[in-house]
Chain A
């Protein structure tokens, strides 16, 4: 069976209509972090990914819009170096306890 561990996804979208684009962005915000104008990083367990796909699928126009999901592998095995920025970096929610 598919192990129930979180994987990191890079999600990018191409949505010409403003309203739908805003709604997709709002929906992705619940799952992960916006790292570029139309690019998100989402760490999700299989269950959360299914929910995400359904939620995004319900917002877009299947003929016109396109959402790309790129599986970057299990979160636990990701090396820091795989993720870097030139210029300003954008925070990604860490995978450990959050102490504020």
Chain B
């Protein structure tokens, strides 16, 4: 794992990809597609190559991080350390940090890796005298003898890796394999979720424990200084947050980010979403090294030809969740029953047009009874009015939907899909169609729920809204209260109905985005939306 640059398909295979492939072909495929995870294993892999404290090598001529390439076998790679003997011959040392392994055993993948490094050096006209693995935890160097069999095996491994990463479809995940519990890519691979059934073993607790930073004070300015994000309001420093803790930034209304901060966030692979102070998503920024370029090509093709099955699931689970939410919080049993039948109609609607018809009818019914869920006397709800909002409840709903859309954009981007090519929403209306598709099933349980709770608990009061002619908007204070209510909701854990494990709603949004990805790249036969019970 010595070279961490993204490897594009069609480019030469890298030695690190071959090492991934020896572990699991799907891991090589994911790595080649640009999927990165922030797990301990990945960090240790990177760190072990930064280790330079082998005291026994102090006196010799040592070269570090040497790029090598084999023209004949067509691969590239990097050697951690090459020691040059006085006669010009080389000794190759590969550093390994293997905290889980108690003994200093040289494994087959390590032999393959060394064989590829040595073969490349020979191809480049060098003389290699010996090769070693240096175990950093044990501070022990082990000499590895390589035979023709090792070189033949390594060459075959390069070919197998090339075939795998150049294939158009992702390899299927391993089934019930103990390797997955040690795999650095499990949180993006979702090996157990592919079966769309309840999960007995739990591989990773993958909920992010870093935070979304919402910048919602008009006139404030955010910049980066000494590894921290500083937020200043009217020239005074209001907050300073360590950058390692930031998971994403949401900018609300008139707030400035400096170019330096934007660059730093993108460099760290974090996303930024901007929206207006009335809750309209203006745009987003994402790192250039996002994963899964080829999956996007598949996404465009599917969005163009249409995927009724996906669209049906988005609407059916949305309507089903409206029914559940209304049953739990409101008083309209008839509407609930009719929503249930709309949900099953949506599940087998013959076309997207009819699906939109069902969705519209369901929305009319649901919002017709929405008022029965509101307990605070200050607030009334008659009809849903998008923009401008005619009453405080609509203003709050608009804002909560913008927050949800921001989370959906982040989830869609993080698995390398394009927010703009969708299956239910039209892709030619200047809208983030896929993010809107994904938002449907989360509207009632996340956004509506946050609004209803905030109004009923008195977190949002009538003073938190202001009227401008016919339009009602949140005040600065009201906006912050709603963001807090939304954040509390989206970080609440619930039991995922398909997989039976508990996760936060925010993680669920990403899991669902990855299930859409699975359908597009062929690892999965169908999509199942989250339906609350």
Contact = CB atoms under 8 A, between A and B. Distances in A.
A96 B303 CA distance: 36
B50 A58 contact: yes
Given A4-B39, A31-B244, A51 B209 contact: no
Most buried by B among A3, A50, A99: A99
Nearest to B204: A4
Interface string A1-34: 1111110000000000000000000110111110
Contacts of A47: 38-40, 42-43
A86 interface: no
A30 B243 CA distance: 5
A46 interface: yes
Given A26-B227, A93-B245, A54 B50 contact: yes
A75 interface: yes
Contacts of B421: none
A1 to B, nearest CB: 6
B42 A99 contact: no
B47 A54 contact: yes
A100 B227 contact: no
B227 A48 contact: no
A80 to B, nearest CB: 18
B174 interface: no
B212 A97 contact: yes
Contacts of A44: 244
B483 A5 contact: no
B484 A50 contact: no
Contacts of A95: 209, 211
Interface residues of B, number: 42
Nearest to A43: B245
B215 interface: yes
Most buried by B among A26, A42, A46, A58: A46
Contacts of B206: 4
A1 B206 CA distance: 13
Interface string A28-62: 01111100000000111111111101100010001
Contacts of A76: 209
Interface in B199-256: 204-206, 209-217, 220, 226-228, 231, 238-239, 241-245
Contacts of A33: 242
B338 interface: no
Given A5-B209, A6-B209, A46-B43, A99 B214 contact: yes
Contact of A97 (B187, B242, B487): B487
Most buried by A among B50, B182, B214, B242: B242
B491 interface: yes
Contacts of B50: 54, 58
B164 to A, nearest CB: 25
Contacts of A98: 211-214, 239, 241
A51 B211 contact: no
B494 to A, nearest CB: 17
A50 B242 contact: no
Interface string B24-66: 0000000000000011101110110010010000000000000
Given A47-B40, A47-B43, A99 B483 contact: yes
A30 B239 CA distance: 14
A93 to B, nearest CB: 6
Interface of B: 38-40, 42-44, 46-47, 50, 53, 181-182, 187, 204-206, 209-217, 220, 226-228, 231, 238-239, 241-245, 480, 483-484, 487, 491
7 contacts: A30-B226, A31-B244, A45-B209, A46-B40, A46-B43, A54-B47, A97-B213
Given A1-B204, A98-B211, 7 more contacts: A29-B227, A30-B243, A47-B40, A48-B244, A54-B47, A99-B484, A100-B220
Top 3 closest pairs, chain A to chain B, by CB: A30-B227, A46-B40, A97-B487
